[in-house]
């Protein structure tokens, strides 16, 4: 293993904080930087803001004396490896927003020691490490000289996954300098996962976009099958379960009211935008994006069929996070569904066991309702509280056992 001992992590969100703590638990000294001073204060006092990090785990890492949360970027001046873990969202017109990556590169450009290697975990289009991060740092450093190297290591975080985490999810790394890639590979291997080295940072960046575009294409495909299965009078979930019994050549994807979160509905836009800049067409992926964007409107259409177009009915959305058991509502399909229902004249409430606040609609507190809609993160524990005379419109395919359920997947 190399002589590296101290790691800097920029951005202590759903990627950065679990990474930082796993590194601490693996024997590394970690300086975690975030611009949010209140977040840093909470971490220092043992309060985690991440679903995958318990307060007790955070406290244990702090007690080891090897984790130092800071909001002063100068504290990163002596780190051996500096890892960028900042958001890469899309704009309202579905274009890549790399402002956080650019800001991170500017912040660290002149403070890093010459022997430091910079790693980018933030998902982006191929060329981001070289054309944005590396260029920004090299330009800003000027006479200081360049740092040791740059490596792309796109994150592979799946929040609330009980089987895979930072210690056992294989990683893919790519960079131009073999020695620097080796240093970074040593760091990731020290935490437990297998590490695959690819020939360039662009190959590593491309790998992450392939992974999530693959998921979007297949989820959009099964969502597209929903009206066809309904017209046939066939239970789509039953057919997908049957298809999944094939032990080769098939991977099961589940339909729903749309996809959400930080990756699947976002990352394909980075791939499409990059391809467009090179005058390359990706019609299958483009169609998958369009299908996914149209799913909430189909859900709203079914609700109007159930309740009537001029209805003043009251609707409860059950589960507004994009995934079971998490508080994250980024890109949740519940948002366009709620907005569309409100626009159509319905009164909308929401309930989610893991979400504490959501500004799109009024939080449910036992008000009378005419229909409950089970969305992406709804659970049976939420549904059994609904009075038996209230219909439940199930968009998950998981609640067919309840007598008052109307399935989105059947006519």
Cα–Cα distance for residue pair 243/250, rounded to 1 Å: 7
Helix (H) or strand (E) holding 39: helix 37-44
Look at residues 367, 371, 348, 368 and name the one whose alpha carbon lies nearest to residue 358: 348
Q: Annotated catalytic residue: which of 82, 85, 116, 263?
A: 263
Cα–Cα distance for residue pair 256/279, rounded to 1 Å: 33
Is residue 244 a contact partner of residue 299, using CB atoms and an 8 Å limit? no
> What Å distances lie between residue 285 and 89, 176, 289, 364, CA to CA?
18, 29, 6, 37
- Say whether 319 sits in a helix, a strand or coil: coil
Alpha helices (H) along 244-333:
267-277, 283-307
Cα 361–chain centre separation? 23
Give the β-pairing of 347-351 and 371-374: unpaired
Cα 382–chain centre separation? 24
What lies within 8 Å, CB to CB, of 44 at 6+ separation is 62, 69
Q: Return the DSSP state at 353.
A: T
Backbone φ, ψ for residue 25 (5° rounding)? -65, -20
Count CB-CB contacts under 10 A for residue 136: 18
Question: Is 395 annotated as catalytic?
Answer: no
Beta-bridge mates of residue 190: none
- Torsion, Cα 336 86 273 138, to 10 degrees, reads 160
| Active-site residue set | 263
């Amino acid at each position: 293993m190399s002589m590296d001992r101290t790691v800097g992590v920029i951005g202590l969100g759903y990627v950065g904080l679990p990474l930082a703590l796993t590194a601490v638990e693996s024997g590394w000294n970690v300086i975690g930087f975030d611009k949010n001073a209140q977040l840093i204060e909470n971490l220092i006092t043992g309060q985690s803001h991440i679903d995958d990090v318990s307060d007790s785990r955070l406290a244990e890492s702090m007690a080891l004396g090897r984790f130092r949360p800071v909001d002063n970027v100068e504290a990163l001046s002596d780190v051996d490896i500096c890892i960028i873990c900042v958001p890469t969202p899309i704009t309202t017109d579905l274009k890549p927003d790399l402002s956080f990556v650019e800001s991170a590169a500017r912040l660290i450009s002149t403070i890093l020691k010459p022997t430091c290697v910079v790693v980018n975990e933030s998902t982006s289009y191929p060329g981001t490490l070289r054309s944005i991060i590396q260029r920004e740092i090299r330009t800003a450093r000027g006479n200081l000289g360049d740092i040791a190297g740059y490596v792309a290591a796109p994150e592979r975080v799946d929040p609330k996954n009980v089987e895979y985490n930072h210690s056992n999810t294989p990683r893919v790394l790519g960079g131009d300098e073999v020695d620097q890639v080796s240093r970074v590979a040593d760091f990731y291997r020290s935490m437990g996962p297998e590490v695959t080295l690819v020939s360039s940072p662009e190959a590593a960046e491309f790998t992450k976009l392939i992974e999530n575009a693959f998921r979007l294409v297949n989820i959009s495909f099964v969502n597209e099958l929903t009206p066809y299965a309904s017209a046939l009078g066939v239970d789509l979930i039953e057919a997908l379960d049957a298809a999944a019994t094939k032990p080769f050549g098939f991977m099961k994807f589940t339909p729903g009211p749309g996809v959400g979160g930080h990756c699947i509905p976002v990352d394909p836009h980075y791939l499409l935008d990059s391809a467009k800049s090179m005058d390359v067409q990706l019609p299958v992926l483009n169609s998958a994006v369009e299908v996914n964007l149209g799913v909430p409107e189909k859900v709203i259409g079914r609700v109007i069929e159930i309740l009537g177009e001029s209805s003043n009915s009251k609707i409860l959305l059950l589960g507004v996070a994009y995934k079971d058991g998490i508080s994250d509502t980024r890109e949740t399909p519940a948002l366009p569904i709620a907005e569309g229902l409100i626009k159509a004249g319905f009164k909308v409430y929401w309930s989610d066991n893991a979400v504490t606040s959501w500004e799109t609609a009024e939080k449910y507190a036992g008000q009378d309702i005419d229909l409950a809609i089970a969305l992406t993160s709804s659970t049976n524990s939420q549904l059994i509280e609904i009075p038996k005379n209230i219909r439940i419109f199930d968009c998950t395919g998981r609640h067919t056992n309840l007598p008052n359920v109307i399935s989105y997947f059947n006519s």
